[in-house]
Amino acid sequence: MNDTFLDFDENSWGRLKKNLKKIVGDNSYNNWLKHLDLLSFEKNILSLSVPTKFLRDWLVNNYADKIKLECRKSNYNIEVLKIVVKPIGGRIVPGTARIIKNDDKQWNNTFDIRKSQTYTSATDFGAPLDPRFTFDNFVVGKPNELAFAASQRVAETEKVTFNPLFLYGGVGLGKTHLMHAIAWKIKERNPNRKVIYLSAEKFMYQFVRALRYKDTSAFKEQFRSIDVLMIDDVQFISGKDNTQEEFFHTFNALIEQNRQIVISADKSPSDLDGVQERLKSRLGCGLVADIHPTTYELRLGILIEKAQKRGVEIPSKVLEFLSHRIVSNVREMEGALNRLVAHATLVGTSISVETAQVVLQDLLKSSNRKITIEEIQKKVAEHFNIRLTDMHSPRRSRSVARPRQIAMYLAKSITSRSLPEIGRKFGGRDHTTVMHAVKKIEELKQEDNNFNDDIELLKRLIDS
Ligand code: ADP
Ligand code: MG
């Protein structure tokens, strides 16, 4: 930083962002301006960064004046505002600087004002896109690979291949994420293409409003110049006959003009209740890609990615634990991660399986069922990759003896069985052997943090 102007620092930046938030409102702030970071202030040039090129363009095109004004208010010496692209955790991408000068409205790149108008009018009618929902941020696994590949294809080719692309799957599995990613990609590749993304509810609402104001021709007009139409959660129009009718016509008209359509729903076209047959068959005539429920591997992959993006260190044991225990959907899992991080930052504790267990109690609703010694033996044998019969066998090699001791320890701490009872279940061993095992494992847990985490993880897995 330049000595003369030390008065613009992280604090000034914090205040400036707060002011921006007040001016543009929480929504716009969270969608766009939040991603701006302070890079440097040197020689009257204030440099800011954003993680993607698209975000940079969007900010420059839509918020340049507001940002500039706030900067000037906070420090009169700022003459030039520079916004560059710096991916999260990466370096500045060379050649991405957009300069906004104080005295004129020009910046060094050729910038076509019409583009920004297309963006705005398109999104005025449609819904705003979440900058986090990009292909880069989407973790691909078996359950979603088809949907992902199809979405990428649609985004990357202007020639219409499958029409419509119909994505379906349960709540929180990434349908909306993929649709936004398609929109971002298309706009990035060719900002002149007109992409409209909106929910089926919004479509319906606009149509009903048009009916009320007897202005359906204007409603139809809006769709005429669209290149790509994306309608999210189309199950919402089930039973709404008028809307369906209108949707059907819009849909047909666009398909006839060879415009791309992308639809999402929570069910396959043929399973959509309360939707006219002809619409169902129309919806299913392109490519239908379903997103399956997540697998453990995918959940873990997503958590690792999200933790990295947030720049927080989370022990892998904790991530494994969350992926095992929160199976409903990705949104819930993300929520759990956020809560955990927030808790750790606020309270100042480190993140561990134990804190996760406490903080996420309500999500983890552990069942009250009785756990048997056999179940414990089975889980432990699986975990250490030994045979179940080794739990009862007289073999004493370390590779089976230690897991056996762990299983005894867990039997003691999870069930209410007595030492002799436990001994009997482990091939008729004496109660002193069990006692010894319990002591030994307790010692090891004390001595070795990793070992301790491992045991705690096992405990929770058995408990679930
Ligand atoms: P849906 O529209 O299917 O209900 P969303 O697209 O809103 O689900 O996804 C819910 C949340 O989960 C979003 O924050 C999204 O980013 C995240 N998510 C879902 N699937 C993935 C994935 N494969 N990779 C990364 N994030 C994902
Ligand atoms: Mg959705």
- Pocket residue to mutate for ligand 1, from 177, 179, 292, 296, most atoms within 8 A of Cβ: 177
Helix (H) or strand (E) holding 342, with range, is: helix 330-347
Q: What is the mean pLDDT of residues 25-39?
A: 84
Indicate whether 323 belongs to any domain.
Answer: yes
Residues 152 and 253 in one domain: yes
- Pocket residue to mutate for ligand 1, from 135, 330, 332, 338, most atoms within 8 A of Cβ: 330
What residues does 262 pair with on adjacent strands? 165, 230
* Closest by CA position to 138, among listed 251, 302, 8, 24: 302
Domain that holds residue 81: 10-110
Ligand 1 pocket, CB under 6 A: 133, 137-139, 144, 169, 171-177, 302, 330-331, 334
Q: What's the gap in Å between 327 CA and the centre of ligand 1?
A: 14
Query: Which tokens belong to 89?
Result: 């955790």
Inform me whether the pLDDT recorded for 120 exceeds 80. no
Indicate whether 341 belongs to any domain.
Answer: yes
Which ligand 1 atom sits nearest the alpha carbon of residue 132? 16
% of the chain surpassing 70 pLDDT? 90
Residues 83 and 155 in one domain: no
Inform me whether the pLDDT recorded for 410 exceeds 60. yes
pLDDT digits (tens, 9 = 90+) for 219-237: 777 777 789 999 999 998 8
Query: Which tokens belong to 433?
Result: 């052997």
% of the chain surpassing 90 pLDDT? 33
Question: What are the CA-CA distances from residue 257 to residues 73, 118, 216, 263, 345 (Å)?
Answer: 50, 20, 20, 17, 54
Q: Which ligand is closest to the CA of 172, given by its number?
A: 1
Which pLDDT score, from 0 to 100, does residue 369 have? 56
Contact 179, 230 (CB under 8 A): yes
Indicate the residue among 259, 291, 323 that finishes a domain. Answer: 291
Which ligand 1 atom sits nearest the alpha carbon of residue 173? 3
Q: How far apart are CA 276 and CA 266, in angstroms?
A: 17
Q: What's the gap in Å between 144 CA and the centre of ligand 1?
A: 11
Task: Provide the domain count of the chain.
Answer: 4
* Closest by CA position to 126, among listed 206, 40, 54, 234: 206
Q: What's the gap in Å between 403 CA and the centre of ligand 2?
A: 44
Which pLDDT score, from 0 to 100, does residue 23 have? 81
What residues does 82 pair with on adjacent strands? 47, 99
Q: Return the higher-pLDDT residue of 330 and 93.
A: 330
Indicate the residue among 110, 125, 158 that finishes a domain. Answer: 110
pTM of the entire predicted model: 0.59
Residues 357 and 393 in one domain: no
Cα 361 from chain centroid?
22
Q: How far apart are CA 172 and CA 175, in angstroms?
A: 8
If you ran DSSP here, which 8-state letter would residue 286 be given? S
pLDDT digits (tens, 9 = 90+) for 426-441: 999 999 999 999 999 9
Cβ neighbours for 408, distance < 8 A, ≥ 6 positions apart: 422, 426, 433, 434, 437, 438, 441
Find the CATH number of the domain harbouring 338. 1.10.8.60
Q: Which amino acid is at 255?
A: I
pLDDT digits (tens, 9 = 90+) for 349-404: 888 998 898 888 877 764 345 788 999 999 999 888 899 999 999 988 989 999 99
Which pLDDT score, from 0 to 100, does residue 432 have? 93
Residues 250 and 352 in one domain: no
pLDDT digits (tens, 9 = 90+) for 18-31: 888 888 888 778 87
Q: How far apart are CA 341 and CA 356, in angstroms?
A: 10
Indicate the residue among 329, 346, 368 that finishes a domain. Answer: 368
